[in-house]
Amino acid sequence: MHIFDDYLSPIKAAIASDPKSGRLRDNLTFNDRTFDKVFNLKSFNQQVPEKRLLPSLEDFAKTVGLTPNFEQGLGLHPDFLHLKHSETLENHYIVSMFVDIKGSTNLHAKYTPQTVWIITNTIQRAAIHTCLIFGGYVHRLQGDGLFVYFGGRNMSATLAVERSLQFASVFSYFVKDDLKNLFTEQGIDQIFTRIGIDLGYEKDVVWGMAGIGEISEVTTCSLHTSLASKMQSNATSNGIVVGDHIKNESPKLSDFYTPVCLRTGNENDRYIFRIPEERFNYTQYDFAWLKFLKKQDFIATDYYGNLQLKSKATVLSHRDTANLAPIAVKSKPYYNF
């Protein structure tokens, strides 16, 4: 889709200029100067600004008509910020998501720590920027991955679920296709994601401050927050696993959900959590995110089956019906000259 092209550029430049890769040449530069001489956080922030979308992703945000909110603090959902240093607990629904980025450890075998830092931090910033576009709140950074909330007091649970699925699908496409192509060219092991998403309704989610003093965060205590993490561990490479509540809140997408047990062949994998005495059996589902992504209003599929933004979709000249004659003539019942 070329949404993340500008985020791939610093990764490519860092790899090309890495002395450990054995491909360093005088004409390979990073930010117009030799990598070894220029590497520092300031130069990286110029390449991938903290609080500004790079042009390719900014075009995407304009296409979907959403604006990211960069003014948020880690572990401080703005709707529950007042609970910091308070003795109050509140109930409110929330969508919890764990995005785990796997495979980055293998990069250390081929590149210097500086290059690995650029690769992993660029990927993480791309994830954060995309998350903010869809209205997510980054609650915690976990290694290369993210723990994210979707929803709040001014958003319905249904819309929060939709936005969470949109973000997860767009970012999964980036990692599965764009990053895969880049790393395949470099002959290195693929980096992939595993994502778990679940929804806890108001009665099931308690918000409050955890920790002490400044060693604290405003967070949730909920079975469904915990299950999102467990579902992530049950996902396939570049897969998304969601809970029953996510499925129930998006009935129009019922065909996109398949019980995990059908993939694994193990009926025990149908339920992610059970309370037999309460007859509580909570199902986990594989989510067909690529199929979902193709159905989004902002996505078009070109002549070759590639995904692209609708605003940038073009009609290829060779799609003129006259060019179909040599093929269609073989199926005369379906073609009339």
The 10s digit of each residue's pLDDT in 243-270 is 999 999 999 999 999 999 999 999 999 9
Same domain, 172 and 312: no
Whole-prediction pTM value?
0.86
Structural domain range at position 332: 307-337
Beta bridge mates, 192 = 102
Asked if the structure places residue 29 within a domain, the reply is: no
| CA dihedral of 41, 48, 124, 130, whole degrees rounded to 10 | 150
| pLDDT on residue 33 | 47
Judge whether residue 222 has pLDDT over 50: yes
| pLDDT on residue 316 | 37
Lookup: tokens for 249 = 């809140």
Same domain, 90 and 197: yes
Same domain, 257 and 192: yes
Asked if the structure places residue 50 within a domain, the reply is: no
Same domain, 189 and 322: no
pLDDT tens-digit series, residues 275-296: 999 999 999 999 999 999 999 9
**pLDDT (mean) for 116-122:** 92
**pLDDT (mean) for 125-144:** 94
Asked if the structure places residue 64 within a domain, the reply is: no
Q: Could you give the C-alpha distances from 147 to 100, 125, 228, 314, 329, in angstroms and in order?
A: 9, 14, 9, 37, 56
Same domain, 287 and 313: no
Question: Rounded to whole angstroms, how far apart are CA atoms 103 and 316?
Answer: 38
Asked if the structure places residue 282 within a domain, the reply is: yes
Same domain, 176 and 313: no
Judge whether residue 45 has pLDDT over 90: no
Same domain, 269 and 217: yes
Note whether 217 and 209 are within 8 A (CB). Answer: yes
- Between strands 192-200 and 239-243, the pairing is parallel
| pLDDT on residue 146 | 94
Lowest mean pLDDT among 28-37, 83-92, 162-171, 223-232: 28-37
Same domain, 250 and 311: no
Same domain, 267 and 153: yes
| Three-class secondary structure assignment of 195-222 | EEEEEECHHHCEEEEEEECCEEEEEEEC
| pLDDT on residue 205 | 98
Average pLDDT in the chain: 86
**pLDDT (mean) for 19-37:** 51
Same domain, 261 and 325: no
Same domain, 86 and 223: yes
**pLDDT (mean) for 152-160:** 97
| pLDDT on residue 48 | 93
Task: Look up the CATH number of the domain holding residue 84.
Answer: 3.30.70.1230
| pLDDT on residue 29 | 45
How many structural domains does the chain have?
2
